[in-house]
Structure 1
Amino acid sequence: MTLTQRLLHDHAARRIIRARPELAQVRDLSTVDGLTAVQQDAGDEDTAVVAVVRRFDLVSWVRGTVAFAAGLNRRRAQEWRRAFTRTVFLAGNPANLTTRFDFAHVAETGAMAWTAPASAAAHRPLRRLLRTFPGTRDLTLGGDVVIDLPGEPPAEPMRRVLHLAGSGLTVAGALVHLGHLLVEAVLDGAISPGDRLTVRQLPRLVGVPGPFDALRVGVDPADPDRLHALMSVSREAGDD
């Protein structure tokens, strides 16, 4: 299975149908314009999560994001999904904020914390206090990063590979795109507690073998009429 335009369209459309089925009925999801228009239509949903980041550590952040998503109740997860899992990343030290703000999850290292999904009004005091997390440096992995996800697997842990298209990917971009991918993969059951996840960075996701359990799809910056894959999740070869 290769990353064809048809496959990328199917994954992008499936994400919209799961989050906002009513919008999928009024837009032509077979075109790039139709797919991007839905994102604009979704502006009526102001539900979001605020993530406070003291420092970015890939392993801790992936584990924390998965644990946070797995701990959401169904109602809150669905409300957040209607806003396409919108997340605001702010720079700050969670340890200095826990007495003033409620966090739904704090990373094991204490370097990151997530609020529960809520309205913009509910998050306003925290957003006024802190600035956007900058994350301007490029995300560069020295090699494969193996991450044991938190939680107890129901049986043998599944081994999965998360491929990142690394060309020009900043830490801030990784927070956004990888956050959406991980959260929605957890909600869809494509990633489960206790899985072993190998993060692998490539210049482009060309030739990456499928099938794909999750894809993060965007508009190709070189051609606005085409899509491209930014990240993917698939099973490790031989792990059937």
Structure 2
Amino acid sequence: MSREESAAQARLREAAAARIRAARPELADAYDLASAEGLLAVRARIAEDTAAPEHLAAVVIGRFDLASWARATCEFALGLDPEQAAAWRRSFTRTVFLAGNPDNLRERFSFAHFADDGSAAWTDPGPAADSAGLRRLLKLFDGPRPLPVRADTVVEIPPRAGRRPDRPPVHRELHIAASGCRVSDALVHLNHLLAEAVLDGLIRPGDTLTIRHAPRLTGLTDRFAALRVDTDPTLPGRLRAAAGLTEEALLVPHHRP
């Protein structure tokens, strides 16, 4: 492995460790999160930990549009109260994606957020039993097709009416590694990345995201404020950046002549 590859792997391990510390800080002292072996051990511990109560959100998807879904995912996470957010974070923002028409379910189930175009609806994150009825009714959303590679898409997170922003709006780029990525993979990777970026304060109302596709995100990791790290299916034992959110750039307001 070259020096550049070793440095990239260390950066990815650092990002994976930071996610574990944010969700389950009590595990940080029990494992060597700087090593690949330590990360594997803590992942196995989390998978086997039946004592930790699991909180999850369920999302009903009628039709998938990446820009609309990304915007609504951020809005949903921004609407959580601190207690909900903390419990969901301890379960690593687990989310179950279901196939169905959200409009047909409004009267039967309680949803916390609907996408503006009605394409998707979110339940509040909570104990798995809370969404058991909905999950029994609907099938898992199956997105086996490759993620369509599109031109750069700008997504604006709406400001909150009547509320002063916490800080000036910023612009970030949202990169996703499209090579070998199915729609279902993109949902998982971007859901965790965007939701946790909101909980960390990296994305706020009024911000703008530019969604960009690339075959792989090699050579770009130093630009990212947040990374979604996954195992590399082509190189056993290696990690890869599945998606990333860049450092902020202040938005320049437009002045009318």
Question: What is the TM-score with the length of structure 1 in the denominator?
Answer: 0.92
What's the Cα RMSD here? 2.1
Instruction: Show the counterpart of 1:145.
Output: 153
Instruction: Show the counterpart of 1:5.
Output: 9
- 2:215 partner amino acid: P
1:222 maps onto 2:234 in alignment: yes
Deviations 1:26-69 (A, max 9, x none): 22212223223333333433211000000101111011100000
Whether the aligned pair in 1 keeps the contact of 2:58 and 2:95 (CA below 8 Å) is: yes
Among candidates 11, 18, 25, match of residue 14 of structure 1:
18
Deviations 1:142-180 (A, max 9, x none): 210111112254454211101111101111111111000
Instruction: Show the counterpart of 1:207.
Output: 219
1:209 Cα offset (Å): 6.3
1:116 Cα offset (Å): 0.5
1:25 Cα offset (Å): 2.3
- 1:65 partner amino acid: T
Percent of aligned positions that are identical: 50
Structure 1 unaligned residues grouped into runs of 5+:
none
Whether the aligned pair in 2 keeps the contact of 1:42 and 1:83 (CA below 8 Å) is: no
In structure 1, what is the Cα distance between the partners aligned to 2:65 and 2:25?
35
- 2:78 partner amino acid: A
Whether the aligned pair in 2 keeps the contact of 1:139 and 1:169 (CA below 8 Å) is: yes
Q: How many residues align?
A: 240
In structure 1, what is the Cα distance between the partners aligned to 2:237 and 2:12?
12
1:25 maps onto 2:29 in alignment: yes
In structure 2, what is the Cα distance between the partners aligned to 1:84 and 1:170?
21
Instruction: Show the counterpart of 2:143.
Output: 135
In structure 1, what is the Cα distance between the partners aligned to 2:231 and 2:182?
17
1:185 Cα offset (Å): 0.4
**Dislocated runs of 4+, deviation >3 Å:** 152-156, 235-240
Structure label with greater radius of gyration: 2
1:224 Cα offset (Å): 3.0
Bigger relative contact order (CA 8 A; separation at least 6): 1
Instruction: Show the counterpart of 2:94.
Output: 86
Instruction: Show the counterpart of 1:37.
Output: 41
Question: What is the TM-score with the length of structure 2 in the denominator?
Answer: 0.87
